[in-house]
């Protein structure tokens, strides 16, 4: 009996040790995204998108999501300021995205992340990274505008875009650090922004809901006074194409990095080509010029591209890839019978030329975004020799040649079904 | 009197050995040293286990032929009472050190990754008390716990390795092999001291596994299975992380679970998985403490393993707490020393076996 009691006591000590110093779940507010901007008083303006557990007041417009911001010379100073100004304890264990403004990234301040003690605030190293053409704070606010904390919706959208269209990439902190410390390639980071028109529409709707009888012209006044941003002047990755509907925050394209420094951007279409060269493309559409008009083809990558890279006398790479395609639309000269007559060659040449163009953009920015360094490292058997070689010094001299082979999917099947 | 360890079956012996080998190699691998010369641990770590197994099998063969039942008897018969006792003490030290490495790694992990706000002492005592209880209740308790938990733990390891499958890339295995052959051989030798303790512990309790013949059979089965798991685990880690990142990583297997970036059912399982791995660590550490205790009793005379279990558990716990209380550099230095010179311990029972073989040859000539 005594032994049983002793065993029970010891078992309780083990099982219940987690109850010591317990904190109620509703004492926390959960941070789902962190934004970094240039500060006015201090080095950074750090904003956090927080999500409160939905309670009875879950009918609020932002569905329990809110952006809290504070300035500080480091992230921890800003967090201290935020803590001081709120009754809740910030919990960072659910952070899934860190967003940085273009200005910070161009001056290389992303290296602040390298000094961050992730464990100290329970931040996971799988946290995704994003660069924004607007302020990171505006980007996060854009996620609150809809009637839900939309960071998870954005994430779904990103995954879908990435896998179905290939217009952006997903890079997490571990992958960024691997690129920077390993020196085999440069990181590319998803690029986002805010569609100002959507903000104005939301503001108009909100204004109409609250004021009820406000005149129609009220929305126009707000448009003009909104931080001086106008629809035309806003830099977007959608090439200034106006869209209607959707969230104010969008993700499309990538930021190109050279080490810690952001050197340029690629739009959504160029990102497809980048992903093709990286072997990370799944499927997507390309508009191929042919004769006086063009055709739209749907391309699917079945196998990763074959890369033959030689380092001597001068680094050169030959990338060959085989893609399966379906012609979605023939226009003008591009007709079904033209596929074997010249449209195929035109499509192959077009993709090869586009790949070369994107490669040249990356090379000019000294960003090995196509990851040729991975293949360079395979030429070495010794880590010391590889580290001494210094791939990035040779990268500007790399000559890349792309070869694309298109294979038409069986169109008869779909035609008959139609 | 608790010197008789009881009797366990073959499956229990194999499960216990396999878990100890896996814990002693994968969980306590010194990342800084192991990955400084490239990403080829998935080759040299299994080879180092095979080397240890070969050494233990040689010793077992000699013991079987000379009708020597336990390791302490082999050392005494070969080196005499005084030197044999000293050699036993060195093996005991290796076993306790193996337990210490496992405990300290898990306490650090739980403290760093889960209970940040809790004190180090509380976590250390929580882990060491569990290890102590398991080893205090003896071989049967340890081995049966190992067998019961084995399917679950094997499944958890495979699940962990499956989680980041989209992140696997072959280029991370390059430069291959990364180091020069001589340096790889040194790595193998260093690594063998960890696995040797896990395999050789069975030599202290062969009576409990129905004799040397069965001990040998189940030692091979357990170690072979563990070697496959170790190779597979290290390969998956190598496919997921660059060698530079790995050389700075406290616990790569834990990081594997954090690589999932898509919110879903399998997201944020890493903390939960850590507690399953801790079961592996607790079973392995208890096994080492118990093996060291029974070797102590057999070599130096006490008839009850329990006081020795208490003494050695307190020793291991004190070492864990000391490294957290201002002696971290000394602990690191000690770890490096054991890594570099641990293989010397293997030579003691091997030399004893050779001496026994020579005695036989001498007898044959006469």
CA–CA separation, B138 vs B143, rounded Å? 9
From residue B161, how far is each of A139, A182, A235, B119, B155 by CA, in Å? 35, 23, 43, 31, 10
Mean pLDDT by 10-residue block, N- to C-terminus, for chain A (418 residues)?
76 65 71 91 90 54 74 87 79 87 90 72 84 91 66 73 83 90 93 74 60 40 36 48 68 92 93 94 88 85 93 93 86 65 89 96 96 94 92 95 89 48
- Contact criterion met (CB < 8 Å) for B261 and A170: yes
Looking at every residue in chain B, the average pLDDT score rounds to 89
CA–CA separation, B117 vs A174, rounded Å? 25
For residues B165-177, one letter each, b for 16 or more C-beta atoms within 10 angstroms of the residue's C-beta and e for the rest, the string is eebeeebbbbbbb
Asked if residues B215 and B204 have their Cβ atoms less than 8 Å apart, the reply is no
Chain A contact set for B107 (CB, 8 A): none
Six token digits for residue B292: 């060291």
Supply the pLDDT for residue A19.
Answer: 63
Give the pLDDT confidence of B163-211 residue by residue, as tens digits: 888 889 999 999 988 888 888 888 888 888 889 999 999 999 998 888 8
CA distance, residue B75 to nearest chain A CA (Å): 38
Asked if residues A197 and A242 have their Cβ atoms less than 8 Å apart, the reply is yes
Supply the pLDDT for residue B217.
Answer: 94
Asked if residues B1 and B205 have their Cβ atoms less than 8 Å apart, the reply is no
Supply the pLDDT for residue A1.
Answer: 74
Asked if residues A189 and A169 have their Cβ atoms less than 8 Å apart, the reply is yes
Asked if residues B153 and B302 have their Cβ atoms less than 8 Å apart, the reply is no
Q: Token pair 């007898």 is at which residue?
A: B363
- Contact criterion met (CB < 8 Å) for A174 and B113: no
CA distance, residue B311 to nearest chain A CA (Å): 19
Among A295, A261, A256, smallest CA distance to A273 is for: A256
| Position B93 pLDDT exceeds 80 | yes
Supply the pLDDT for residue A217.
Answer: 36
Name which residue leads in pLDDT, A156 or B151.
Answer: B151
Mean pLDDT (whole number) for B321-345: 88
Chain B contact set for A96 (CB, 8 A): 263
Supply the pLDDT for residue A233.
Answer: 43
Chain A contact set for B112 (CB, 8 A): 119
Going by pLDDT thresholds of 50, 70 and 90, the confidence category of residue B121 is confident
What chain A residue is nearest to B126 in terms of C-alpha separation?
A: A14
Which backbone phi and psi does A97 adopt, to 5 degrees?
A: -140, 140
CA distance, residue B173 to nearest chain A CA (Å): 9
- Nearest residue, CB atoms, B113 vs list A17, A119, A380: A119
Query: What residues in chain A have their Cβ under 8 A from chain B's Cβ atoms?
Result: 10, 13-14, 17-18, 20-21, 96, 119-120, 122, 124-126, 128, 152, 155, 159, 170, 172, 174, 177-178, 181-182, 184, 374-375, 377-378, 380-383, 385-386
- Nearest residue, CB atoms, B175 vs list A10, A13, A382: A382
Asked if residues B246 and B35 have their Cβ atoms less than 8 Å apart, the reply is yes
Give the pLDDT confidence of B52-88 residue by residue, as tens digits: 999 999 999 999 999 999 999 999 999 999 999 999 9
Six token digits for residue A201: 């529409």
Among A147, A240, A158, smallest CA distance to A202 is for: A147
3-state secondary structure of A289: strand
What one-character-per-residue DSSP string does A300-325 give? EE-SPPEEEEE-SSS-EEEEEEEEEE
Asked if residues A203 and A222 have their Cβ atoms less than 8 Å apart, the reply is yes
CA–CA separation, A254 vs A271, rounded Å? 7
Name which residue leads in pLDDT, B255 or B212.
Answer: B212
Model ipTM value = 0.84
What chain B residue is nearest to A125 in terms of C-alpha separation?
A: B258
- Nearest residue, CB atoms, A21 vs list B117, B259, B263: B117
Name which residue leads in pLDDT, A47 or B33.
Answer: A47
CA–CA separation, B313 vs B293, rounded Å? 10
Which backbone phi and psi does A47 adopt, to 5 degrees?
A: -120, 145
Supply the pLDDT for residue A16.
Answer: 67
- Nearest residue, CB atoms, B122 vs list A17, A159, A381: A17
CA–CA separation, B262 vs A159, rounded Å? 8
Supply the pLDDT for residue A213.
Answer: 41
For residues A366-392, one letter each, b for 16 or more C-beta atoms within 10 angstroms of the residue's C-beta and e for the rest, the string is bbbbbbbbbbbbbbbebbeebeebebb
CA B45 to chain centre: 12
- Contact criterion met (CB < 8 Å) for B175 and A381: yes
């Amino acid at each position: 009996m005594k032994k049983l009691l002793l065993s029970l006591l010891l078992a309780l000590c083990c099982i219940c040790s987690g109850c010591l110093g317990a904190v109620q779940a509703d004492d926390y507010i959960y941070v789902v995204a962190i934004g970094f901007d240039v500060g006015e008083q201090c080095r950074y303006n750090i904003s956090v998108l927080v999500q409160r557990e939905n309670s009875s007041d879950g009918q609020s417009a932002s569905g329990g999501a809110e952006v809290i911001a504070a300035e500080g010379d480091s992230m921890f100073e800003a967090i201290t300021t935020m803590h001081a100004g709120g009754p809740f304890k910030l919990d960072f264990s659910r952070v899934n995205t860190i967003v940085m403004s273009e200005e910070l990234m161009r001056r290389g301040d992303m290296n602040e992340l390298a000094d961050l003690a992730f464990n100290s605030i329970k931040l996971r190293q799988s946290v995704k990274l994003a660069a924004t053409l607007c302020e990171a704070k505006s980007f996060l606010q854009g996620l609150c505008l809809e009637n839900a904390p939309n960071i998870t919706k954005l994430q779904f959208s990103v995954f879908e875009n990435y896998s179905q269209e290939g217009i952006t990439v997903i890079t997490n902190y571990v992958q960024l650090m691997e690129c920077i410390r390993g020196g085999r390639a440069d990181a590319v980071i998803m690029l986002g922004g805010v569609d100002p028109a959507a903000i104005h529409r939301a503001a108009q709707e909100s204004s109409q809901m609250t004021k009820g009888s406000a005149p129609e012209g009220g929305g126009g006044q707000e448009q003009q006074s909104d931080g001086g941003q106008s629809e035309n002047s806003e830099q977007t990755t959608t090439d200034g194409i106006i869209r209607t509907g959707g969230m104010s925050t969008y993700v499309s394209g990538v930021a190109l990095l050279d080490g810690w420094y952001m050197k340029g951007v690629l739009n959504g279409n160029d990102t497809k080509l980048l992903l093709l060269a990286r072997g990370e493309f799944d499927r997507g559409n390309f508009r191929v010029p042919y004769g006086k008009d063009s055709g739209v083809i749907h391309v699917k990558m079945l196998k990763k591209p074959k890369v033959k890279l030689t380092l001597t006398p001068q680094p050169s790479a030959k990338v060959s890839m085989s893609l399966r395609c379906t012609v979605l639309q023939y226009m003008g000269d591009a007709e079904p019978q033209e596929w074997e007559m010249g449209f195929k060659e035109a499509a192959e040449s077009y993709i090869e030329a586009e790949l070369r163009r994107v490669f040249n953009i990356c090379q000019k920015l000294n960003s090995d975004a196509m990851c040729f360094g991975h293949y360079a490292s395979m030429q070495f058997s010794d880590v010391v020799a590889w580290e001494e070689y210094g791939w990035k010094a040779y990268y500007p001299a790399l000559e890349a040649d792309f070869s694309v082979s298109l294979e038409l999917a069986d169109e008869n099947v779909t035609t008959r079904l139609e | 009197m608790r010197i008789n360890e009881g009797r366990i079956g073959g499956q229990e012996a194999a499960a216990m050995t396999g878990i100890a080998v896996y814990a002693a190699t994968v969980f306590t691998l010194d990342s800084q040293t192991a990955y400084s010369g490239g990403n080829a641990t998935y080759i040299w770590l299994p080879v180092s286990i095979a080397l240890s197994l070969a050494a233990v099998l040689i010793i077992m063969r000699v013991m079987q032929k000379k009708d020597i039942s336990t390791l302490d008897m082999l050392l005494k018969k070969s080196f005499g009472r005084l030197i044999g006792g000293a050699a036993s003490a060195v093996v005991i030290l290796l076993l306790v050190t193996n337990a210490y490495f496992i405990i300290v790694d898990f306490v650090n992990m739980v403290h760093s990754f889960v209970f940040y706000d809790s004190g180090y002492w509380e976590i250390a005592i929580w882990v060491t008390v569990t290890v102590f209880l398991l080893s205090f209740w003896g071989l049967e308790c340890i081995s049966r716990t190992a067998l019961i938990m084995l399917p679950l733990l094997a499944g958890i390891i495979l699940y962990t390795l499956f989680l980041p499958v989209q992140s696997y890339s072959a280029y991370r295995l390059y430069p291959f092999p990364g180091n020069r052959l001589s340096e790889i051989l040194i790595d193998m030798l260093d690594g063998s001291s960890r696995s040797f303790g896990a395999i050789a512990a069975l030599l202290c309790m062969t009576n409990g596994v129905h004799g040397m013949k069965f001990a040998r059979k189940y030692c091979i089965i357990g170690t072979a299975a563990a070697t496959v798991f170790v190779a597979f685990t290290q390969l998956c880690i190598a496919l997921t992380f660059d060698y530079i990142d790995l050389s700075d990583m406290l616990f790569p297997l834990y990081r594997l679970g954090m690589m999932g970036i898509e919110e879903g059912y399998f997201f944020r399982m890493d903390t939960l998985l850590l507690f399953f791995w801790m079961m592996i660590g607790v079973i392995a550490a208890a096994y080492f403490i118990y093996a060291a205790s029974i070797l102590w009793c057999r070599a130096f005379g006490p008839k009850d393993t329990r006081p020795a279990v208490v003494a050695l558990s307190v020793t291991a716990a004190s070492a864990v707490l000391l490294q957290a209380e201002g002696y971290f550099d000394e602990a690191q230095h000690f770890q490096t020393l054991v890594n570099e010179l641990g293989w010397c311990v293997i030579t003691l029972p091997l030399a004893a076996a050779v001496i026994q073989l020579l005695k036989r040859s001498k007898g044959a000539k006469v």
